[in-house]
Structure 1
Amino acid sequence: MCLQSGGYDLELFVDVPDDGLICSICQGVLRCPVRAACHHVFCKRCIMQWLKRQETCPCCRKPVSQSLIFVMFKLSKAIGRLKIKCRNEIQGCRATFPLSEQYCHSMSCPFELISCPYQGCRAQLLRRDLEAHARHCEHWRQPCHMGCGAVLSQRTRTQHNCYQELRRQYEAKQQSHRAIAAALQRKMRKMQNTMAHMKRQISLICESLEVMDDVVEVDEAEEEEDVAESGTAGSSSSSS
């Protein structure tokens, strides 16, 4: 929370901070304090924005170089120990805590305004009212706390039965397994039919090759007989 730029709002603090902790540019409590060469102290963001317009100290008008600006870590820690009020004071939070714990408190403050975490719900409510809101939020969705895997809504969680849900899942898986087994059996039958067909084709090819071998042997035998007969006929002619 800041006024013009980088500092903390004075109203955030429980006690009024010392004047030495006030940034002369934004008039807020120093956030990430830095010191210029002229020893004047400012919020880091404030002085960097100032130097974009003019390179002189806003207090004494002496030249200021960005390379000669130093972070004051000890002063920053001291400011972090100052007590502040919760930013949700207007909502009813009365807590006070060190400035350095502001973020941690905001993450758990029951008066923090937050959005409903359930997808589709646009409600804005205080963190302390979230539990009551969840009991009626129509966008409420959560997995079954028994671990069956079912995602429940406001309508279904009162009727939910883990046994029935697990049985439904089991039956669905069984049906899926039966469908897979039937598909595998069909593929196996198709492969068996293909193999039987291939075997028949191979048998026919082998039979064809055997017939061709027999024909070749018959032809060769006939040729030998013809040659033998021709030879015999030639011998008879010579004798005459």
Structure 2
Amino acid sequence: MSGGYDVDLFVDGPDYELLCTICRCVLRCPVRVACNHVFCKTCILQWLRRQETCPCCRKPINPSCMFVMYKLSKSISRLRIKCINEGCLATFPLSDEFLHSSSCPFQRVLCPHQGCGSLVLRSALEVHSQHCQHWSQICPMGCGTQLTQATQPQHNCYRQLRQQVEAQRQSHRAIAGALSRKMRRMQTAMTHVRRQVALICESLEATGEGQEGEEGEVEGDVYEGFEEETTGESSTSSSSSSS
């Protein structure tokens, strides 16, 4: 790959002093070596990977002794060049090359729609985009629908939003129905628990009454035995006194 600018790119033929001896193109980022010869920076660095001498005079080159020639680079940037795009007749300074190429109507650019891959003129890009089969965008009315060339003509935001609302209503009804069934199951379970608790309480109360009855009988028997013992003792005491 050439390190310099193509000579045919310039409106007027550049001077011989502005050409790189290695690539024979106009100097790009010119550097001067110790022997005062000037080359493109990229060209001389690639040359030094194979040889360590100047390609003009064969003197040794020390890479640390190379100097960038900023003034010469600035002078070259003022030279006028032609647009490389077919059909464009514009001329401009070399320094404006990027600015022109980013707006040139004859520049071929890649279609921005994913999956297309077509290279079209920048001036025809808008028309191509409108008819590109890979065209798609979010509905500009705000309904959130992804539109394509096939679906855009039939798209209706009101109908789309109504369908979305109806779908949400059905979802909410399903959720409400599930919650209602769950509540009924919980109420049935609570009723069953209350019945079980009531039965347990009744059982405990019946057990308590039976125990109280048995305790009353035991107390009656004890009282009767105590009375019999007291009566016997009283009778014995009376007999002794009579004697």
| TM-score of Structure 1 vs Structure 2, range by shorter chain | 0.7 to 0.9
CA deviation vs aligned residue, 1:181-228 (integer Å, no higher than 9, x gap): 3333333333433444444444445555555555665666666667x3
* TM-score, scaled to structure 1: 0.77
The answer to which of 117-126 and 217-226 deviates more is 217-226
Task: Report the Cα distance in structure 2 between the residues aligned to 1:28 and 1:64, rounded to whole angstroms.
Answer: 22
- 1:92 Cα shift? 0.6
Count residues in correspondence: 234
- 1:52 Cα shift? 0.9
Q: Match for 1:121 among 116, 131, 151? A: 116
Root-mean-square deviation over aligned CA pairs = 3.2
Unmatched runs of 5 consecutive residues or more in structure 1: none
CA deviation vs aligned residue, 1:115-138 (integer Å, no higher than 9, x gap): 322233243322222223234322
Partner of 1:95: 90
Q: Structure 1 residues 229, 127: CA separation in 2 closer, same or farther (over 3 Å shift)?
A: same
Unmatched runs of 5 consecutive residues or more in structure 2: 237-243
Q: Structure 1 residues 166, 218: CA separation in 2 closer, same or farther (over 3 Å shift)?
A: same
Partner of 2:149: 154
CA deviation vs aligned residue, 1:70-109 (integer Å, no higher than 9, x gap): 3333433333333222221xx2111222323322322222
Partner of 1:78: 75
The answer to which of 166-175 and 202-211 deviates more is 202-211
Q: Match for 1:48 among 18, 41, 45? A: 45
Is 1:25 aligned with 2:22? yes
3-state DSSP of counterpart to 2:165: helix
Within 5 Å, which residues of 2 pair with 1:51-200? 51-88=48-85, 91-200=86-195
Partner of 1:13: 10
> What amino acid is the match of 1:164?
R
Task: Report the Cα distance in structure 2 between the residues aligned to 1:32 and 1:49, rounded to whole angstroms.
Answer: 14
Larger radius of gyration: 2
- 1:27 Cα shift? 1.3
* TM-score, scaled to structure 2: 0.76
Task: Report the Cα distance in structure 1 between the residues aligned to 2:181 and 2:29, rounded to whole angstroms.
Answer: 75
